[in-house]
Chains A and B, each alone.
Chain A
Amino acid sequence: MSDPIDPMAEIRASFFVECEELLEALQDGLTELENGDGDPETINVVFRAVHSIKGGAGAFGLEPLVRFAHRYETVLEEVRAHRLAPVGDAIRLFFEAADHLSDLVRACRDDLPTPEASSDALLAELDALLADPEPEETKPVDSPPLGVAIDLPDLDPVEEPKVAAPLPVPPDNMALPFPHWLIRFRPESELYKTGNEPLLLLRQLAQLGECHVDCDITALPALTDLKPEQPYLNWTIQLDGGLDEADIRDVFEFVDGLCDLQIDRVDGPENLPPPGSAAPTLAPKIVDLPRAAPSPPATEVPLATVPHHPDRIDEPHKSSTGATAKSVVRVDLERIERLVNLIGELVINQAMLAQSLDSVDLSPHSDAMNGLEEFQRLTRDIQDSVIMIRAQPVKPLFQRMSRIVREASSAVGKEVRLITEGETTEIDKTVIERLTDPLTHMIRNAIDHGFEDAPTRQAAGKPSEGQLRLSAAHRSGRVVIEVSDDGGGINRARVHQIAVEKGLIPVEAVLSDSEIDNLLFLPGLSTAAKSTDLSGRGVGMDVVRTAIQALGGRISIASEQGKGTAFTLSLPLTLAVLDGMVINVAGETLVLPLNVVIESLSLSHDDVQMLRPGAFLVRVRGDFVPLYDLGAMLGYRAARTDYNQSNALLISLDDDTRAALLIDGIEDQRQVVIKGLDDSFYRAPGIAAATILGDGQIALIIDPGDIIAGSTCPRSTDPGLPEKRARYG
Chain B
Amino acid sequence: MSLTILAVDDSRTIRNMIRLALIPEGFTVYVAEDGIDGLSVLDGIAPDAIITDINMPRLDGFGFIDAVRAQSNHCATPILVLTTENAPEMKKRAQSAGATGWITKPFDPEKLVKALLMFAG
Residues of A within 8 A of B (CB): 1, 7-8, 10-11, 14-15, 18, 41, 44-45, 47-48, 51-52, 54-56, 58-61, 146-150, 152, 155, 190, 192-197, 200, 203-204, 253-254, 257-258, 296-306, 308-309, 311-312, 314, 316, 318, 320-322
Contact = CB atoms under 8 A, between A and B. Distances in A.
B110 to A, nearest CB: 11
Interface string B18-34: 01100111101111011
B118 A204 contact: yes
Given A47-B55, A311-B28, A299 B14 contact: no
Contacts of B60: 146-147, 149
Contact of A200 (B17, B24, B79, B118): B118
Nearest to A54: B84
B39 to A, nearest CB: 13
B19 A311 contact: yes
Contact of B117 (A41, A257, A299, A312): A299
Contact of B31 (A54, A314, A321): A314
Contacts of B63: 149-150
B1 A301 contact: yes
Nearest to B1: A301
A318 B34 CA distance: 10
A540 to B, nearest CB: 43
Interface of B: 1-3, 10-17, 19-20, 23-26, 28-31, 33-34, 41, 53-57, 59-60, 62-63, 66, 69, 75-79, 84, 92-93, 95-102, 105-107, 117-121
B61 to A, nearest CB: 9
A672 B29 CA distance: 48
A714 B12 CA distance: 56
B12 A194 contact: no
Which secondary structure dominates chain B's binding surface?
mixed
Given A14-B16, A152-B66, A200-B118, A301 B100 contact: no
Nearest to A229: B75
Contacts of A322: 57
A305 B26 contact: yes
Nearest to A155: B96
Given A312-B30, A312-B41, A318-B33, A11 B13 contact: yes
A194 B95 contact: yes
B37 to A, nearest CB: 8
Nearest to A320: B10
8 contacts: A10-B16, A11-B20, A56-B11, A150-B63, A196-B78, A299-B121, A305-B24, A309-B23
Given A59-B13, A194-B95, A318-B33, 5 more contacts: A61-B106, A150-B66, A195-B119, A302-B26, A320-B11
Given A254-B101, A298-B117, A320-B56, A11 B17 contact: yes
B118 A298 contact: yes
B15 A314 contact: yes
Contacts of A306: 2, 26
Contact of B62 (A8, A149, A312): A149
Contacts, number: 171
A15 B15 CA distance: 11
B76 to A, nearest CB: 5
B97 A152 contact: yes
A258 B95 CA distance: 9
Contact of B20 (A8, A41, A61, A195): A8
A314 B93 CA distance: 29
Contact of A314 (B12, B53, B69): B12
Contacts of B33: 316, 318, 320
Contacts of A309: 2, 23, 28-29
Contact of B106 (A47, A48, A58, A155): A58
Contact of B1 (A48, A258, A302): A302
Contacts of A155: 96
Contact of B98 (A193, A257, A320): A193
Nearest to A313: B31
Q: Shortest 7 CB-CB distances between A and B: which pairs?
A: A298-B121, A306-B26, A254-B101, A320-B10, A149-B63, A58-B106, A309-B28
A190 B69 CA distance: 12
A70 B98 CA distance: 27
B64 to A, nearest CB: 9
Given A194-B99, A195-B98, A320 B1 contact: no
**Which of B11, B17, B92, B105 has the most chain A CB atoms inside 10 A of its CB?**
B11
**Which of B34, B101, B121 has the most chain A CB atoms inside 10 A of its CB?**
B121
Nearest to B5: A311
A321 B57 contact: yes
A318 B106 CA distance: 24
Contact of A296 (B76, B92, B121): B121
Contacts of B12: 14-15, 18, 314, 316
